[in-house]
Chain A
């Protein structure tokens, strides 16, 4: 514990992992690292980020992210590098492009279609009720609803 405290005091821009103490050039770099490793998915695990996973591959991927941030690469460059090797699986937030558009907009579209169908059905029912009355029945209904009838 004391060693960690001394390190924090000596090197203000560090990120602490499970077994890792990493040094960065700025707090902004350290923050980018912490955010990125939570946005990348462990390819060996079912539902863990590389930040949370103890798998060997996650440790290697964290090291790659660290090296690339230190080398001045942008988040997009790092994500593209990993996407080329692990596909969209590696990203916790799939990008809104290509086949992923179904994931992003599919639920909303289904809801919209269901709403349109519901509205059309309700309107259809109203029309069928109106049209189902004969002329004689309509006259009778009007008479019943007329103010004179109400006052009686």
Chain B
């Protein structure tokens, strides 16, 4: 090898290592199914919030979500993915999973029509037409689902559709391990 090509060869090896490292970093970052927005509510107590109950005048509070595992599901009749996940929520209800709804940015008429057509998996739903509860919980859109422990702590935050794969991989182990 001539003297003039030696410095280039010396530089090439570190440069290749850097490129390989960057490639690896990008590859693994893209592989990981990580939500864009961090879930700030996970592993923290469920914040206090209250609202009128959907289809009623009674005021309900997040304080009531204690003593058992609950799924807190944000939904709306305007949300296409809510139609996709709804049959699975009905299955979970039949299996004895307790689900509380938060009807998000919706109207009572449209919400009623949705539940009449698709079935009602919820013990009851908070009514959140202005998204106040949604912001309190750090929601980005619907559907999103939280797992609440018997002592009122948020164990998990799912952004997107709930299905059997997600429930069995993320929710069920937490419900069994506690």
Contacts and interface: CB of A to CB of B under 8 A. Distances in A.
Asked if A and B are interacting partners, one says yes
The size bracket of the interface on A is 10 to 19
A85 B131 contact: no
A59 B129 CA distance: 12
A78 to B, nearest CB: 12
Interface of B: 36-38, 40-41, 105, 130-132, 134-141
B134 A84 contact: no
- Helix, strand, loop or mixed for chain A's interface? helix
A60 B138 CA distance: 12
A85 B140 CA distance: 10
17 contacts: A43-B36, A46-B36, A56-B105, A56-B131, A57-B134, A60-B105, A60-B131, A60-B132, A60-B135, A63-B131, A64-B135, A85-B136, A85-B137, A86-B37, A87-B38, A87-B40, A89-B37
A55 interface: yes
A11 to B, nearest CB: 23
Contacts of A55: 141
Interface of A: 43-44, 46, 55-57, 59-61, 63-64, 84-89
B134 to A, nearest CB: 7
